[in-house]
Structure formats: C-alpha cells, structure tokens
Structure 1
Amino acid sequence: MKNKVLKIHQEDNVIVALSDLKAGEVISWDGVDYVLLENINAKHKFAMQDFQEGDLVKMYGVVIGKAVKTISKGQAITTQNVKHQTEDTLIKDSKIQWQVPEVSQWKDKTFLGYHRKDGKVGTANYWIVIPLVFCENRNILTIQKILEKELGYDTGTSYQIDVQNLIKAYQNGKSTEEILSVEVLEEKNLSKQKRIFPNVDGIKFLTHQGGCGGTRQDAEALCALLAGYINNPNVAGATVLSLGCQNAQISMLKKYLELFSPDIAKPVFFLEQQKSLSEKEFIAEAVKKTFVGLVEANKVSRQPAPLSKLVLGLECGGSDGFSGISANPTLGYASDLLVALGGTAVLAEFPELNGVERELVSRCITEASAEKFMQLMNAYNQRAKAVGSGFEMNPSPGNIKDGLITDAMKSAGAAKKGGTSPITDVLDYTEQITKSGLNLLCTPGNDVESTTALAGSGVNLIVFTTGLGTPTGNPIVPTIKMSSNTHLYKKMNDIIDFDAGTVITGEDSIESRGADLLDFIIRVASGEITPKAVQLKQDDFIPWKRGVSL
C-alpha cells in the first residue's frame, strides 16, 4: 500500500485511515505531523484540528457532522463525539460545469442486446410470471416447479448440502458436537440443461406480500411497479395471476401499462382465479399461456446495439469506510463515461443523498428538476420524522462499525456513484426513465427495495457496490457486484464480480479502474459474462410501501 492515510478533499478537516494505525504513531500529510491520541482502525477518521462543541466536520468537501464535545487533533471521529449535520440547500445555487471524459476508445463499440419494438434494448430476455396479490404466491411457486425443470431453467447452484449425512449421524446416536462436525457441503459442477427456448434467458417467478389489505395507494404503487417490470426492455412478456377481489385489480395494472407504453407490443396474459373452474384448471391455463409466450419470446436473438442503449442502475449496500473512496467513485467514473457516450445512469436511494443536496441541485439542468428533487427529499424525510426515524438514522450498525458514523458522511460517499455529469431528470418511485444522461430516482436506501425500483423504472443493468458483502440481485436485471476492498473480494469471491480495492492499495487510479468497469459492463450486457448474482439466482424483489423505509 502506497499510503496509510488519505485526505479526500482540500477543504476536509478529517483524515481517513487506509490501514490500522496505532496510538502514538506520527502521521504526516502535506508537511504537517499528526500524533495519534488513540488507535484508529482502517476506514475510520481522525481529527486534523482541535474541535470545540458545535464546530462543523467536513469530508468530501461537504459538512458531514458537527462536534458534540471537544475533539483534539489526532483523536478518532466517532459516534460519541460527532453527530449528523448537513448544509442548507438553495435552488438558486444551480450551476453546471462538467468536464466530459475522453471516450474515443468506446465510440464505435457496441453490445449484443435484445431489440424491442419500442426502440429499447434489453441486456437479457426474460419471461415473468407475477401475482397481483399475495394470495397467488403459492400458485406462482407451483407453476415454477412445473416449468423450470422441464424447460431447462432449473440449473440450481454450484453447491449442494447433503442432509443425508446429518440424518445418518442422528440415527447413529451422534452427539450435537459430532453432528456439527459432519461434512455436508458438496461441490458440484452443474452443467446447464438444454433449454427448449435457447434465446430466452429464463422465466422469473416473482412473489410479494402486497396487493390487498394495505392502503389503496399501496395497491396503485404495486401495479405501477409491476407495469414497469413488464415494460422493462429485459422482459419479453408476462403472465399475470389475479385472485379477483383484491385491491390491485387487473384494470389498475392495465391503466399503468397504457400510461407507460401505449402501444405495448409484448404478449401479456391475464388470468383471474375466481373466474376459473378449479385451481388445477387455472394453473394449467397459466402454464399453457406462458408456454405460448415463450415461443414468441424465443424469436428474438441478441443483435449489436450502441452503448447509448445501456441504462445503468447505480446501487450500494453493506457499505464501509472505503466505499466512498474506491468502489463508488469508480462506478461514478464509469457512469460518466457511459453518459458521455449517450447512455443513461440512474442514482437512487434518497435517504443516502441527505447532506449532498446542494451539490446535486447545482447539477440539475432545469430548475424544475431541482425543485422536484428537493420536494421529494423533504416529503420523504418528513414522513420518516413523523414516526421518529429521520434520514439521520439511516446508517446501519455495520456501516457505523466500518467507519460511516453519520448519514451525511454515508451520503457524501454514496453520491459518488453518480459521477459528476449533469442531472437530466428527477423521477418519483415507479416513474419511467425517458431521458438519457444522469437521472435521480426516489427509492429507499434499503438494498432490495431500491434495486426493485430501479428495474421497475427501466434500467437494463445494475452495478452494486459493497464494502461488507451483500448477497442480493434482481430477477430481471443482471446485477454486477463490486467490492470496495480486495480483502472482501477474496473472502466473498463467490458473490462478487469486480474489485475496486486496487484503488485503495494504489495499484489503480479511479479513472483506470472505472474504464475497466465499463469494459466489464459491456461484456455482461452482451451475455459474455454472467454475474454471480444471476448464477446464484439472487432474484430479490421487494415492492416499497410508501410509508417509511430507510
């Protein structure tokens, strides 16, 4: 490692430890010596000056907290001496200055995608089977058992757990300790079954706990989300199961489909169980219509498409103190490259933009977008405060343990995923992406609720940064996992695809690693690389109820 510490921005008054530092150690930065007054763990920060109670703490060049007690130069910044604090935002501060990155090496590059009749291009080709209400979940899973194996999509995972070894140990009278020592993990080299429909990447069976029993607004939001999934370019068509009496009616879903895609050319089949002769007849009809839909979906094959057709979702989860230094800026640079090539990037997780509103407002190309962003942020934060959980309560125990001690600090690092390009549009939950460039999408910070929303608004690829390791993905959008540190990449290599930890060690710059990431994204979009989340069937789907979720 070239450096043991890092000062991120010239206006900062804290320094980040890149490795574990010991009390009494003398750290030099820009000709100034700092004597550490206590141990500073890697990813955590120490004071560059003496702070009095009420003094503002800056990192990434923005206010990320204020001192609640005296902090001495060389002392650790912790939850005991610093609390969340942000700067006021003024719409009139808006100004756009963007240094467009050099993209000539990608100018003529294409990816192999699935072209839809509306002009969008998918990075995958899925059929989805979805319920309008939780009462249909069991039928969805029954259809899954019927179809996946027969059609060649039941590929499983790369390992099995041999429960028979445990049964034998129990039946032979083994003790608890002996049972716990039994070997059960069995590695298997599972070859793909021959697919009946080779151009269809899979059938995805979504389940959820909504559709009835909640507010009418929840039903509307669910139908809008499901319409967005059907409208997503990675989806060839859908089978929709309805019970019949629930709040989320077929007519409500059709209303949003008409709004999002008036001339939708995809096959969509609607089935209502309360109109069927029996459950078995209902399931048989769903299977037949799904099969017919797959025949149509299989007629589309991958063809070259310009990189401007990529719509990239920007996500983070299980963040650590390195996320905002390595993985997120790396993704931000790749995002800038894509935007410069005419593509689209979407930054979500509004609770994790708390504290960087001033910067984001200044990047909005219209005053209307800036005002919409602040209105959505303020309304969301007020709903959270009404139940005693404002944005400042967003950092998780894992975040705090690994150096992200305030929401503003976490947000300043999380926003780096959005790079530096102008913001062309601001979208509320389930609104569809229609403008190229960087978009802001209102979602919770919750990983799965956010990725679910990104797919519902139309992204065709997601890059998910993590510092602690998060085993999640999306059913219809390939999700690339990127680690903020090499230790995590090596430890959890079975779920992580790309390592940004070389930025921390000094082996790579943010720019060089960001360029590598864009090349990786293109290969995933073309189907040349299958991300680990897809291999492991991490098909997580959680609709957001518009109450409070951070």
Structure 2
Amino acid sequence: MEQKQLFLQIHPEDNVLVALQDLPAGMEVRFGDKPVRLVSGVKAKHKFTIGALEAGAEVRMYGVLVGRTNAALPPGETITTQNIHHAADSVKLGERKLDWHKPDVSAFEGRTFMGYHRSNGTVGTANYWLVIPLVFCENRNVSVMKQALEEQLGYSKRLRDYEPEVDQLIRLYRAGSTVEDILNADITASKTQEGGQRLFAQVDGIKFLNHNMGCGGTRSDADTLCGLLAGYITHPNVAGATVLSLGCQNAQASILRGEIAKRDPLFDKPLYIFEQQLMGTETNLIREALKHTFAGLMQANQLQRQPAPLSKLCVGLECGGSDGFSGISANPALGFVSDMLVAMGGSVILSEFPELCGVEQELSDRCVDEATALRFIELMKTYNARAEAAGSGFDANPSPGNIRDGLITDAIKSAGAAKKGGTSPVTAVVDYPGVANKPGLNLLCTPGNDVESTTAEVGAGANVVLFTTGLGTPTGNPITPVIKLSSNTTLYERMPDIIDVNCGTIIEGTEAIEEAAHRILDYIIEVASGDTQPKAVQLGQDDFIPWRRGVSL
C-alpha cells in the first residue's frame, strides 16, 4: 500500500471503497480506469459507492454481503445508517474447505517462552493466587481479605496518586474561588505511588474477584458461574485459590468441585473452600481463610519459570471500540499471528458470536467436520433467535462509536472482526463456559461485550489475550495479560497509557501485515515470559464480568 493512498478496495468483489483519509465533496478519485466523483465528503474509515446502486441492491465488503440499500445511490455516495441497512447471506451446511496457506514460521523455529509448567501439561504465562466468592453475599469478605493481604505482601499496584490535586482544589475553595476558577485551575501535581516489595517473588499477585451472581437467578446461571470459576481455578496462570461461600446459595461448592473435575480430573492445586454459615463469625471465617491463603502462597512461591515451546500458548482474540480501520489493519495482523501460532501447534480462540454474523458460511465451511460445522450454525441461530425474542438481534450490535467511525452495519463490523481468526481450519466449536484450548482455531460462543467476552476467553484457557481497538478501551483481565493493539497511529499517540502495539503502520503503508505480525509475536513472547508487562497489567485493569446467559450483544 502506498503511503498516501486515498482509498482501498478490500476484496475484488466489493462495490464500495474505504476512505483512508478525509476526502472532500466533489473530489474525483480514480478506481482503475473509472473516475468516481464524491457526492459528499467522506471521512476517513467510512465507505463510498463505486458505481450506481438500485434500491434494495447488495452492498458487499470483504467479498460478502454486508447490507442492502434503502434507496437508489449514485456513484461516489457515502454509505450511512440512513441509506443502507444490515443484511447478511444465509448459512447452510456446505462442503469442507480445509485447505489453507500455512505462513512461513521459520523465523520462530525453536523459539520458547519462559512459563510456569503445571502438572496437567499446560503452561502459564503468569502465577497468580485467586480469592473468589461463590455468591455476591461474600463480596465484602473478599474485600476485607484484599485490604488485609494486598499491601502487606507487596502486591499494591503502582497507582496514580491524585490527592495533591484534591488538596489544591480544597485550598482554592477555602480561598473563595468560584466555580469558574475551579474549572480553569491548573492542577498538575499528581504523583506515582510505588507498591512495596513482594514477599513471594514467584507469585505475580493475589487476585480478588467480585461478581453479582451465585443466587437469585436461575439454577442454570449458578451452574454456568461455577463452570466459569472452575475455568479460572484450573487455568495455567493460577497456582491455587481461596473460595468463600455463604452456604445457602444456588452456586454450591459441590457444583464448583464437579466443574473443576470436568476440566482437570487429576486437579492437584491448593484449593481452600470456606462456608460462612458453618464457621459462624466473620472473624473465624477471615482468620482461617488468611492462614490457608498464606500457606497456599508459600507453595505457589516454589514454582519457577521454565522454557516452553510456543505450542503451549493459547491466545484469545478480542476487539473492542472498533473502527473502520480495524478490519484492514489490526485484525488482519492478528489473523496472520493466529495462522502462525496454529502452524506451530498453538491454540487460538475467536469469540464474540454476534460479531461473526455474515461470515457464518465461511467459518462453518472451515470447520474440520460436519458435526463441528452444525454445532457452530446451531449456536449462532439459537443466540440470534434469543436476541430477537427480546426485541433485539445481531443487527443491533454496532455501538454508536462503531457507527461514527465507519462500522455502519453488524455485517460490516463482523466481516472485519472475523479477520482476527486468520484462515486455518476450525478445530473446535465450544459453548460458554467451556474449555477452548484445542490446538488450532477454536470458536467460543460469547457476547460481543468486551469484558464479558474477554472474561470468557480466559476461563476457556487463554493464557494471553490480543485485543484490537480503533477508538481505545482500557479493558484488562485479572489473571491473563491483555495486549492492546491500535488500528491507527492517531489512537496509539493519543492514548499511550493503554495501547501496547501500533498497527496504524499498515494503513500508512510503512509496514506489511506479515511484518506487523512478526513484531506482534515477538511482543507476545516477551509478555508470556514475564519480561514485559502490557499496559493493562501495569494499570491493574482487572476486569471480570461473568456472562449471565440472557441477551448481551
């Protein structure tokens, strides 16, 4: 791609072009031998028609149907939510299309990362202890344990201390400042507070997870929660866990133990479960939980990082705050990384099923067998039907920010989002909250909600998450490093405190997708080895939201 290219046709069958920079109304651009005069100004990331389209005509991007026109459109017309609506091709069981071009991975042959080897054969990229409630009634006790343990053991994060700014505001108020004086005041005295030295050097942290589930919903919700928590407890990045239970809730400790056994029949990590209604006073509960947690940390501290092949990486693929460049820069770069990992025997997880709408046929055809393809088709249909029954549907997925930055329909968003999954065959289709760490490309049924989906991918086994964004989002995870990749350089420069890797170089033409993929994989290895902390880890961005199996897009 040339550095000053004005537009891009993503696929030869597309009848719209993507503006790579702001294009003024009346400007004439040439597509091949054909002049196209722009009817109105086209903002960067948005799309405009190549030729005239009749009312009801197909709008195609990435080679697939992404919408239909609401009225006749002339050449050079910007597509908007007013002149097109969501449309996608229907899906049916087709022939297997399992041929794919394996990328050259010779540059990474023999490469390893330094990880924590678990007895079940998995390898962690970190070593955490968990303190989790089985029901929201125990959230306060989890917080009490956090207050008692975190700072004392040296796990307080480097936090931005804004007390000096507040002190300045108080002084201004006491001096008689007006509201306007306060709003115009220059308060720039913030400082960074250092955490103390860790007592247990080989334990990356204690993670205290709160949630609002465990009782009061359906029994199915409780079972699903126990499955998710079991996924975290058995996760390769976790050394052991302390679980607080009230006792009478739907999410029983016996259900949790059963879910753990499903995932790891020979589970041998330290696991301590305390039931408040049996133990009596809060003091008894907390003191016993603290003793056992400290003993567990002593055991966890005995582990050391050891070399592991890249095939032991299980990488979650996520996007959030997407823009019109996501599908042509960051997401295809992740797709190349995905194919590289698969070629080396690793695992990747593609989730967010509402954002696969319109590309179901391609993905189902890539499933290794018909049973896997039928499972994917059925999960997609069931999910969409449930959303429609609640008065919504996959077409309601794009957010106002997505639309503002060029993702006009769900199918447009989906076609770009699916690029994260590369081109390799789909080896497994998994429903939430199952395990999705089979070598190859795994499809995991989750909502498009960033945090719910990331939470689910980690519960399914992802020991690294790659998260692309065009608008910017701080999303992280308590136990798995989340690497943030920007689709454009402007975002990378505007939000350097949350973005780790810039893929805007692809848009600018200074780097090819393959080159960016190699750079990303090098960075993954650094993070997986504990040599580099991504921004979400540095910020302590420990987002954890279990998906309640209702409608969440």
Global fold match (TM > 0.5): yes
Structure 2 match to 1:112: 114
Partner Cα separation in structure 2 for residue 546 and residue 220 of structure 1: 11
Please name the residue that 2:393 is paired with.
390
Show CA shifts across 1:64-111 (max 9, x none).
001111111111011111100111212123321200000011110000
2:97–2:366 contact (8 Å) kept in structure 1: yes
**Which range moved further: 230-239 or 162-171?**
162-171
SS for the counterpart of 1:114 is strand
Corresponding residue SS for 1:544: coil
Distance 1:243 1:387 in 2: 33
Secondary structure in 2 aligned to 1:10? coil
Distance across 2 between alignment mates of 1:159 and 1:335: 39
- Name 1:495's counterpart in structure 2: 498
Tell me if structure 2 keeps the 8 A contact 1:27–1:35.
yes
Structure 1 stretches of 4+ with a deviation exceeding 6 A read none
What does 1:10-89 correspond to in 2, within 5 Å?
10-89=12-91
1:129 aligns with 131
Note if 1:193 corresponds to 2:190. Answer: no
Partner Cα distance (1:258, 1:478) in 2: 26
> Residue type matched to 1:493 in 2?
P
Counterpart among 180, 184, 188 of residue 181 in structure 1: 184
Q: Deviations over 1:355-406 (max 9, x none)?
A: 0001101111111110000111010000000011100110000000000000
Find the counterpart in structure 1 of residue 283 from structure 2: 280
**2:473 pairs with 1:470:** yes
Q: Does residue 232 in structure 1 map to residue 229 in structure 2?
A: no
The answer (yes or no) to whether the contact 1:93–1:361 under 8 Å persists in 2 is: no
Counterpart amino acid of residue 442 in structure 2: N
Aligned pair in 2 of structure 1 residues 159, 35: CA closer, same or farther (>3 Å)? farther
Give the conservation status (yes or no) of the 8 Å contact 2:348–2:437.
no
Tell whether 2:552 aligns with 1:544.
no
**TM alignment of 1:74-473, pairs within 5 A:** 74-162=76-164, 163-473=166-476
- For residues 421 and 530 of structure 1, the distance between their equivalents in structure 2, rounded to whole angstroms, comes to 29
**Contact 2:437–2:462 at 8 Å: present in 1 too?**
no
Compute the displacement of 1:173 (Å): 2.2
Q: Choose 401-410 or 147-156, whichever is displaced more.
A: 147-156
Alpha-carbon deviation of 1:277? 3.1
- Once the two structures are TM-superposed, the CA of residue 191 in structure 1 deviates from its matched residue by 4.4
- Structure 2 residue aligned with 1:480: 483
Show CA shifts across 1:467-525 (max 9, x none): 00001100010000000000000000001000000000000111110111111111110
Tell me if structure 2 keeps the 8 A contact 1:159–1:186.
no
Q: CA shift at 1:527, angstroms?
A: 0.7
**Residue of structure 1 equivalent to 2:517:** 514
Distance, in Å, in 1 between the alignment partners of 2:327 and 2:195 is 38
Q: Which 10-residue stretch deviates more, 151-160 or 469-478?
A: 151-160
Amino acid at match of 2:118: R
Deviates more, 1:93-102 or 1:533-542: 93-102
SS in 2 for 1:195: coil
**SS in structure 2 at match of 1:227:** helix
Unaligned regions of 5+ residues in structure 1, if any? none
CA contact (8 A) 2:347 2:437 kept: no
**Distance between the aligned counterparts of 2:550 and 2:194, measured in 1?**
44
State the secondary structure of the residue aligned to 1:200.
coil
2:506, 2:190 → 1: CA distance?
Answer: 33
| Percent of residue pairs bearing the same amino acid type | 57
AA aligned opposite 1:483: S
Distance of 2:517 and 2:161 partners within structure 1 = 32
Distance in 1 between the 2:77 and 2:436 partners?
A: 46
Structure 2: tracts of 5 or more residues without a match? none
What letter corresponds to residue 508 of structure 1 in structure 2?
Answer: E
Amino acid at match of 1:65: G
TM-score by length of 1: 0.99
> Matched residue of 1:269: which SS?
strand
- The answer to whether the 8 A contact 1:127-1:202 is kept is yes
1:154-194 residue CA offsets vs partner (Å, 9 max, x unmatched)? 12324534322222222222211222233444443554521
SS state at 2:497 partner? coil
Which SS does the other structure have where 1:177 is aligned? Answer: helix
Displacement of 1:343 in angstroms is 0.5
Are the counterparts in 2 of residues 157 and 535 from structure 1 also a CA contact under 8 Å? no
Separation in 2, partners of 1:468, 1:92: 36
Distance 1:487 1:107 in 2: 34
* SS of residue in 2 equivalent to 1:87: coil
